[in-house]
Every structure is written in C-alpha cells, then in structure tokens.
Amino acid sequence: MSDFDFDAALRWARFDPRKTLARRDDEELPFLSDMAEAGQELLLDTCVYIDGLQGRAPDIVANLLDIRHSNHSTIAVQELMHTVGVLDPEHPRTRAAVRQIRTMIREMPAHRIFVPDADTLGRAALLSGILCRLQGYQRDARLRALHDCVLFLQAQKIGLTVLTANVSDFDYLLQLMPTGRALFYRSND
C-alpha cells in the first residue's frame, strides 16, 4: 500500500483556475526588505546556492541566513548534482565549481536535509502538470516546474518558507495555493 492517495490528490486539486495566470506586481509579493528579520525557518531553493557561489546573492540574503535556520531539500541537492554532471570536464573552471558544490553539499547538516515523501511527490506532480498546462510550459520548463512544485509543497508540509529568486514561478504557485509561503529576493546580475 502506497503513502500516496490518488483520489485524495484529485480532490485536493480543486484549486485549478482553468486559466493562464498573470505575474503580479512586486509590491503584492513577499520580498525581503532592506533589513534581515528573524522569522520562520527557511527551505532554500537551488538558486540561493547558485547565486551565493556566483556572487549574485545580495547582502540581505547572507544576513537573513545568519539569523534564520536554513533547511535543505534533496531536490536542491539533486539539482546541484545535475549541475556537476552538466559541467564540461574540459573547461578550466569546472574543477573549482565542482569543489565549491561539494563543499556546499557536505556542509549541509544532516538533520536539516529533508526528503519529500510520496504524498508530496504525487501532489507536486499534479500541481506541476496544472501549472504547465495553464502557463503553456514546454520541455525544459516542465522539469523545472516539477522541482519547484516539490520544493513548494515540501516546505508547506513541514512548515517552512521557501527562499527564492524565482519570482515568476513561485508567484504562480502562491496564486494557486495561497497557504504556501515564499520569500523573494532579486539576484545581483
């Protein structure tokens, strides 16, 4: 017997608006303010790690991570490892990038790494399918949407807030499921 209840997931998906969603104005979204504040524990989206490694994360993100508990998802670990696999072994910067990712993953405290359960994975697949249909996502965007949905629902299930720079996709998720929590920042490009 599986931990996933197909019929319950279908009933749960009644939030489907059956229309394309529009990206809301930044003023309507939960962005980091100029000063880091204590608050709910965080679940980090993969972009937080990448922005940190590439020096694109604003100082406020580092300040926030200093005062709030940071949690990690195996989804982010999976995406980071995918990055390692995609990097060209012959490129002169690949070794340094792989070392940085290795260090980052090894420094994640085991008690702060969460694995999504079967219910979360099943509902996230359903949610990402709805999102892909509504927004017309194609190939690569579909896998990204699935990972975002797993992270979003995983955070909701364990009572965390997703920290992300992925404003568009997580705005859509918040519109579909307003009970979820995300906190946005803009990376320094």
Tens digits of residue pLDDT in 58-84:
999 999 999 999 999 999 999 999 999
Residue 35 reports pLDDT greater than 70: yes
Contact criterion met (CB below 8 Å) for 153 and 175: no
For residues 104-129, average pLDDT:
96
How confident is residue 11, by pLDDT bands cut at 50, 70 and 90? confident
C-alpha angle with apex 156: 71 to 68, nearest 5 degrees? 35
How confident is the prediction for the chain on average, in pLDDT?
94
SS3 184: strand
For residues 153-179, average pLDDT:
97
How many CB atoms sit inside 10 A of residue 78's CB? Answer: 13
Which one is predicted more confidently, 11 or 154? 154
Domain ranges for the chain: 6-13+26-71+115-184
Residue 29 reports pLDDT greater than 70: yes
SS3 179: coil
Q: Which residue has the tokens 């979003």?
A: 152
Residue 41 reports pLDDT greater than 90: yes
Contact criterion met (CB below 8 Å) for 72 and 112: yes
Supply the pLDDT for residue 181: 97
Query: pLDDT > 70: what percent of the chain?
Result: 99
- C-alpha to C-alpha distances, 25 to 22, 36, 93, 123, 179, nearest whole angstrom: 9, 22, 38, 28, 19
Residue 6 reports pLDDT greater than 90: no
Q: Global pTM?
A: 0.93
Supply the pLDDT for residue 1: 44
- The fold of 6-13+26-71+115-184 is Rossmann fold (3.40.50)
**CA 170, CA 181: separation in Å to the nearest integer?**
9
Contact criterion met (CB below 8 Å) for 60 and 32: yes
